[in-house]
Amino acid sequence: MEIIIQPTAEAATSVAARIIARLLREQPNAVLGLATGSTPVLLYRELIALKLDWRKVTTFNLDEYVGLPPEHPQSYHSFMWENLFRHINISKQNIHIPDGNTKDIPKFCAKYENQIQAAGGVDLQVLGIGTDGHIGFNEPTSSLASRTRIKTLTPQTRKDNARFFGSEDAVPHHVITMGIGTIMEARQNLLLAFGQGKAKAIAEAVEGPITAINPASILQMHPVTKLCLDEGAASRLKRADYYRWVFDNKPGWQRW
C-alpha cells in the first residue's frame, strides 16, 4: 500500500486527480471504476476542471441503492450525472451503474461482472471507505472473495448516510455492490479518505490484520493500491512519519 498523507482534503484530492489524469492521457480507452458519497465530489470537480478527453473511457460504478428510481436525487445515478457525467464528454453507452430497480438481481449482478470482464477489467478503481471499513458497500463480514451482489446496509452505514436523505428511515436497507473480489481484480485501487471520522477505519485497514471485519484491510493484498488521505484520516496511523518520508523521497521516475 502506498500511503499518501496531505495537509488537506483538497491537496489529497489533487494527488488523486493527477494519478487519474495521467492514466487517461496515457491510455485514452481506460476503464475506470467510480465511487460515490461525499469523498469523491472534490475529485470529480477537479477532473472536470482538467478538461480531459473521456470519449473512449468506460466507467463502472461500485454500487447503487435497491429500489430508488434512477431520477431520485439520492440515487447514485443522479449523483454521477450531477457530479461528473453531465460535465464531461463521456459516451453514454460507456457508463455502467448498477441497476437498483432490476427485476432479477442475481441475473443483473452476473451480467455486471461479465460487462466488466468484456471491457477488459478495471484499470483504476476509485474507492471511498466507510467509518466501518466498508469499500463499495461491502459491509464488515462481507466475503473477501465476494462478487457483485445484493448487500444489506448496517445500521451504522444507514446512520452515516442519513445526512443525504434527511432521516435515517429514508435510507434504503439494500444495495447492489461490486464485491471485494471484483474490486481486488482492478489493476490499481485509489482510495480517498478525509476527516477524523475515517481515522479508525484507515488505521485498521492499513496497520491492522487482514480481516472481513474491516473489508478495506484486504487491500493489503493488492499489488497497486494508493491511499490519498488528509491529516484527519491519517491521524491514527502509527507509522505516519514513515509514510510521509517515503512519499517525499520517491525517486523522480516513480512519480506521475
Min. distance of Cβ 40 from ligand PGA in angstroms?
7
Does residue 39 bind ligand PGA (CB under 6 A)? yes
> If you ran DSSP here, which 8-state letter would residue 69 be given?
-
Q: Shortest approach of ligand PGA to residue 249 CB, angstroms?
A: 30
Out of 33, 98, 100, 128, the only residue in the binding site for ligand PGA (CB under 6 A) is 128
CA distances from 23 to 6, 29, 54, 57 (A): 21, 9, 11, 11
d(CA 179, CA 176): 9
Q: Which residue is nearest to ligand PGA (CB)?
A: 37
Complete edge-to-edge strand list for the sheet that includes strand 174-177: 63-65, 174-177, 149-152
37: contact with ligand PGA by CB under 6 A: yes
Catalytic residue among 46, 123, 139, 160: 139
Using the structure block, give the residue that is written with the C-alpha cell 453514454: 92
- Whether 132 is catalytic is yes
Residue 66 contacts ligand PGA per CB under 6 A = no
Question: Among this protein's residues, is 248 annotated catalytic?
Answer: no
Rounded CA-CA distance 240/7 in Å is 12
Q: Are 50 and 106 in contact (CB under 8 A)?
A: no
The residue range among 10-18, 32-40, 212-220, 241-249 that interacts with ligand PGA, by the rule CB under 6 A, is 32-40
129 binds ligand PGA (CB under 6 A): yes
DSSP SS3 for 115: helix
Q: What is the phi/psi pair of residue 62, to 5°?
A: -70, -40
Establish whether 134 is a catalytic residue. yes
Determine the distance from the C-alpha atom of residue 82 to the mean position of all C-alpha atoms in its chain, rounded to a whole number.
17
Question: Least Å distance between CB 198 and ligand PGA?
Answer: 7
**Catalytic: 207?**
no
Residue 38 beta carbon to ligand PGA: minimum distance, rounded to whole angstroms: 4
Write down the least CB distance from residue 131 to ligand PGA, Å. 8
Largest Cα separation within the chain, whole Å, is 52
**215 counts as binding ligand PGA under rule CB under 6 A:** no
CB–CB of 204/191 below 8 Å?
A: no
Q: Is 179 in the site for ligand PGA (CB under 6 A)?
A: no
* Binding footprint of ligand PGA on the chain (CB under 6 A): 37-39, 128-130
Active site residues: 63, 132, 134, 139
